[in-house]
Structure 1
């Protein structure tokens, strides 16, 4: 039995080594770092409740503005004695939830309008394209500031507002790809077999254009993270006692000379996360785009 277990372990170790070496040959080192960083951020967001050493609102006034390195506070404390590491872990969760929800909402909304324009053509197509042109020309940050200042800030409103960012890209891509797919034989064949338009677009056209839309999502995702960080930095994003990456940067700017770690830790996470998503997105585009191959 022991020899069998040892043989199985050696086979598993060999398979892992082969998989890792194969991935290294296929993916550059920068892409491997990006995938590792994103996996770590997702894990932190999922298990934030178990990883936080303190509550995000717990204050220790005797340890205000403590420098990083102490065993009790690895990343130091802020102006109220709150643990920076605990707030950073929670900020990663909140920012990723907002960015993921807004990206999915933007992709679904834009793809639906693009398919509608390709399906009905005529006045519907002109209306969708006019809305897309208006959205592309609209300063989204200024509009977001006006909406949040008028209606107030909440998590639901923030996700819905961010969900309207970049939808015109998905609409244009989905419209062009749907028209191209509709001109091919397989779409006309399933229509002749009696398939409904909804089935044609959801079961036959959407899977064929999904790779391009997924790559577009990887490009929109970091932009939404930066947009949410900018709004929180200006005080109109995530509101206390909740925290986000931009929120931490905004509060930390007042102590940049006295306690730079308050601002530098979330700023580094924002930079590395957006960079990782961009690297992985470019790599996916090269792998999924048949014209590149």
Structure 2
């Protein structure tokens, strides 16, 4: 009838799902904001730190937070906790970022080797991956650091072995799937070499999955570095890290809890933020979840 208007068509369910995927949750925004803040602090540590992180102020030893001129207090030697926290963020992020890149690069390379050669090479790679997964990494790290000593380069390289087996399994599985889909074989038939096939064609197609895995491994490496530094086998003095600060602050937990609570809170919030963003990226980039 002319007087009756047609009801508006309901929004299709796929459109609503797509709109929800495009909407960034508030927690993800907070996580991204915190990550951006931490990165900015790490890059500008020498500029924003109010004092030298090794500069003592013996007249203000164990000063409480909001005790001017030290905003979040001082430690047992009178060193400014805020300055040490800023430098510790830079060192911990440097270790975690470098180790994550090493782990992803090494694991992806091993996965590609297993997918390309198959046979015994694949069995050896999978056997090493199983051994890495079965061996508690903390025990392995303690043994290596106790035997070879500790330098920052060795420490970053050792942390780069953490979690490589995940990338190896992902890269191997996706590379084998790429060969089954046919596009890798088509590129080979027109004369492309194995290195070009894996770097120029397969790697870009699996990069999103690897990036998501990196965001999930990154906070684990931060926690591992903090644990080793807490035990005295991580970053060595006079350099400082978040775990190092927590280790030194445990002796003053009852008298000056801010020495330990400041880096511990930073560790918790940073790992939580990266984990939240990593889960969101997995939901956005993983085609099996869409």
Match of 1:87 in 2: 84
> What are the Cα deviations for residues 110-154 of structure 1, in whole angstroms up to 9, with x where unaligned?
000000000000000000000000000011101111111121111
Match of 2:194 in 1: 197
Distance 1:56 1:23, change over 3 A: farther
Deviation of 1:70 after TM superposition, in Å, equals 2.1
Match of 2:248 in 1: 251
- Distance (Å, rounded) in 2 between the aligned partners of 1:25 and 1:249: 39
- Distance (Å, rounded) in 2 between the aligned partners of 1:168 and 1:184: 24
Match of 1:19 in 2: none
- Distance (Å, rounded) in 2 between the aligned partners of 1:163 and 1:259: 34
**Is 1:153 paired with 2:150?**
yes
**Is 1:217 paired with 2:214?**
yes
TM-score, reference length from structure 1: 0.91
Deviation of 1:205 after TM superposition, in Å, equals 0.3
Q: Tell me the secondary structure at the aligned position of residue 164 of structure 1.
A: coil
- Distance (Å, rounded) in 2 between the aligned partners of 1:175 and 1:23: 32
> What are the Cα deviations for residues 142-186 of structure 1, in whole angstroms up to 9, with x where unaligned?
111111112111110110000000000000000000000011121
Distance 1:154 1:80, change over 3 A: same
Match of 2:63 in 1: 66
TM-score, reference length from structure 2: 0.92
Deviation of 1:26 after TM superposition, in Å, equals 1.1
- Distance (Å, rounded) in 1 between the aligned partners of 2:49 and 2:21: 33
Match of 2:51 in 1: 54
> What are the Cα deviations for residues 207-251 of structure 1, in whole angstroms up to 9, with x where unaligned?
000000000000110000000000000001011110000000000
Match of 1:240 among 237, 242, 264: 237
Deviation of 1:71 after TM superposition, in Å, equals 2.8
Q: Tell me the secondary structure at the aligned position of residue 55 of structure 1.
A: coil
Structure 1 unaligned runs (5+)?
Answer: 1-21
- Distance (Å, rounded) in 1 between the aligned partners of 2:21 and 2:226: 33
After superposition, the CA RMSD in angstroms is 1.3
**Is 1:126 paired with 2:123?**
yes
Match of 1:34 in 2: 31
Match of 2:273 among 276, 282, 286: 276
